[in-house]
Amino acid sequence: MKTQIGSNFLERYRFKQSKKAQVIETFQKVQFSGQLIWVAPNNEKRWNLYFCQGRIMYATGGTHPVRRWARNIAAYCPQIQVNLTELQNELLKLNLDSFISSWEYQLFGLWITQKKITEDQVEQVIQSVLEEVIFDLSQEDGLTHQINEYPCTSQPLAVIDEQQVIADVQQLWQALWNAQIVDYSLNQAPIIKQPKLLKDCTSERVYQALIKLLNGENTLRDLAIKMKRNVVQVIRLLLPYLKSGVVEFISIPDLPDPVGRTVLNLPSQPLNPTKPLIACVDDSAAVCQTLEKLLTAAGYRFISINDGLRALTSLLSSKPDLIFLDLMMPNTNGYEICSQLRKAPSFRNTPIVILTGNDGIVDQVRAKLFGASDFLSKPVDAGKVLSTISKHLSPNELT
């Protein structure tokens, strides 16, 4: 086993000699135009690399394509404020069936035309995005690749030095190896597991700073941007807390995809912004619609989240006062989401009510163990829903 691990690391560290790098180099030599798609086992993840006459124009896909894009926009284009609704409006102006179907790349072209960003900024963003994608690819084993060849119909927005990208990836591996921290995923988010222990072993100033940063909403790469440090420095700063068990890593979902399915369905009529915000996480549109009609009629603000995999991100951004959470959803479950929410400081005391078609005592006990506040059976009863909200929200919140 040790030999296999050593061999895998050696190939990652020597990425220039790896099979993945050789494929890219071959595409450069034959002046390939089109799309190279790397596929993880069981089709769990896909990375898309776009080529024009042998040069890489852009890369996307993998674990956090939207988060990656937004993070690099924040780093290199500080004048751009990323807002989901505004992005969706901007995307209506684009032709997503062009040579590069990536909405991220096409927005660069639109913003250059609108003089919102410069070509130098675009080059910096694409270079950084490509480095992240190549590094993540270098960490993956068992990938296969697919090729879609078609003529290049547009000029690249930026000229990327692929050899410099590969050199930077190898330099990052070297830095991680020197610091003996090669086992950490840069796409995971640190979160404080034992806040009391942290408070006891740090100053109040450091404690307050860490509470704000390590809230389970930022990956290591996100933190590097916020802290104006590189990821190696960030990991080294966190290492004592990780080794003592004060901090742990969790996996977090990507930010909502502006061209994908709408995650937050806000009521069309303006409601009193001081009223409690109620969230329903359920893959059943019928359940969400039933609750929306009931709760908006009762004066509450309401959001529905139909995609369980994006629930955590959506809830962290909207911060509802109470959450109705479906127990069984495709690819995830209410127990897992509830457990992750309870690790986030902003949700430690938020009422979480589990919804299920099975009202067995075992499920109720298990839900409590994972941090649920209450339990309701489906189909939902209007009277029970309203009384449950009244039970868990204070009178001041309800008025």
| Percentage of the chain exceeding pLDDT 70 | 87
pTM above 0.75, yes or no: no
For residues 88-109, give the mean pLDDT. 74
What proportion of the chain, given as a percentage, has pLDDT over 90?
Answer: 33
Per-residue pLDDT band at 202 (split at 50, 70, 90): confident
Q: Distance between CA 101 and CA 334 in Å, rounded?
A: 34
| Strand ranges for the chain from DSSP E | 34-39, 46-52, 55-61, 144-149, 189-192, 247-250, 277-281, 301-305, 322-326, 328-329, 332-333, 352-356, 374-377
Mean pLDDT of 87-106: 72
Residue 268 in this model has a pLDDT that exceeds 90: no
Q: How many CB atoms lie under 10 A from the CB of residue 395?
A: 7
pLDDT given at position 266 = 38
The structure tokens listed for 34 are 């089109």
Residue with tokens 């296999």: 4
Q: How far apart are the first and last CA of the chain?
A: 62
Dihedral (C-alpha) 208, 211, 214, 216: value to the nearest 10 degrees?
Answer: -160
The SS3 call for residue 186 is: coil
Euclidean distance between CA atoms 354 and 280, whole angstroms: 10
Give kind and range of the element (H or E) at residue 233.
helix 231-243
Whole-angstrom distance, CA of residue 156 vs CA of residue 51: 9
pLDDT band at 217 (very low <50, low <70, confident <90, very high): confident
220-251 per-position pLDDT tens digit: 999 999 999 999 999 999 999 999 998 999 88
Distance of CA 291 to the CA centre of its chain: 27
CA–CA distances in Å: residue 383 to residues 170, 324, 347, 390, 396: 61, 15, 26, 11, 21
Distance CA 239, CA 255 (A): 27
| 40: number of Cβ within 10 Å | 18
Tell me: the pLDDT tens digits for 342-396? 888 889 899 999 988 766 677 777 778 889 999 888 878 888 898 899 999 977 6
Burial of 389 (0-12, 13-18, 19+ CB in 10 A): buried
